[in-house]
Amino acid sequence: MLVLGLQGSPRKKGNTRFLLDRFLEESRNLGVRTITVDTDKRNILPCRELTACERKGFCPIKDDLKDEIYSQIHEADIIVAATPVFFYNMTAQLKALIDRCQVFWARKYRFKLKEPGIAQRRGFLLSVGASSGKQLFEAIELSTRYFFDAVSANYEGSLTYRGMENAGDLAAHPTVDKEVRQAVEKVVKPLTTRRRILFACRENACRSQMAAAFARYLGGDQIDAMSAGSEPAEKVNPLMQAVMADKGIDLAFARTRLLDDAIAAHRPEMIVTMGCGEACPVIPGVKIEDWDIPDPVGQVDSIMTDVRDEIETRVKKLIN
């Protein structure tokens, strides 16, 4: 399970950073993995309205979004957007990231594809402002709601604080710790009771990717799924992405992962193997189930489709 924090504040020790850090700390206390994207320190270029995302389904701009952050959004179960108020809106750094997520909107609404995590993905807003204006957070909330819709995250609410002028003001707020804990209890904790299952094959480019995607899409309320490989390929198989798109499931931003790294980050209760050979792990107390599914790489397209359908059937049985 991943909670992804999108940090929009350029201030090193500001109130927004304090707020997001507290939210992620409380999430880790529940045993949840967290990642922070510090937008001010990353190479995130603004949208140039090239319209390639709506015509072709991808963004041609090469930066950290394309290389890494799109994949983190794709993987996340919970996305937390955090920003101070700049002229009654979010910072330019966070807005640049959100604008570039038009590619998710296009793939969802133009190409009619669904993110595997759509059933359980959640979004939450954190924001801090110096003034006390009645409408201080309205524009930020509206932009964030549309962003969460584009990346298929259900808007779960917000924590917002007015009158936080100086660094350290929020840390001295009398109720902030209690409110953060309550927000994490509401948004994060319900997803921690799911069964953690790791799907493993050799390259993590095909079979295990499909299995994890079906598990998230069909049973994400019950299964916290991840995939990995003993010898991960540089990238996932494009034919696999195509046959999954035929089922309406979007794996455009899927990335391969090393088996050892996945186990360290996602201590599984069950491992489903699909041909990782002698490198398939044996962990005390962890159930191992092997699916005898042939590797479709290098075969004709129909074989890939047959393997996809077999994996879908097996995942449905596993959920039941």
- Which letter does DSSP use for residue 66 in this model? I
How many other CB atoms are found less than 10 A from the CB of residue 114? 16
Separation of alpha carbons 238 and 256, rounded Å: 13
Concerning whether 59 is annotated as a catalytic residue, the answer is: no
- Which letter does DSSP use for residue 299 in this model? S
Separation of alpha carbons 125 and 135, rounded Å: 16
How many other CB atoms are found less than 10 A from the CB of residue 160? 17
Concerning whether 201 is annotated as a catalytic residue, the answer is: yes
Give the list of residues 6+ apart from residue 95 with CB closer than 8 angstroms, or none: 8, 89, 143
Concerning whether 101 is annotated as a catalytic residue, the answer is: no
Annotated catalytic residue: which of 53, 101, 201, 206?
201
- Please answer whether residues 16 and 9 qualify as being in contact, where contact means their C-beta atoms are separated by less than 8 angstroms: yes
Alpha-carbon distances of 182 from 2, 165, 234, rounded to whole Å? 19, 24, 41
Give the list of residues 6+ apart from residue 131 with CB closer than 8 angstroms, or none: 85, 162, 163
Separation of alpha carbons 205 and 264, rounded Å: 20
**How many separate helices (H) and strands (E) can be counted in the chain?**
12, 9
Catalytic residues: 201, 276, 280
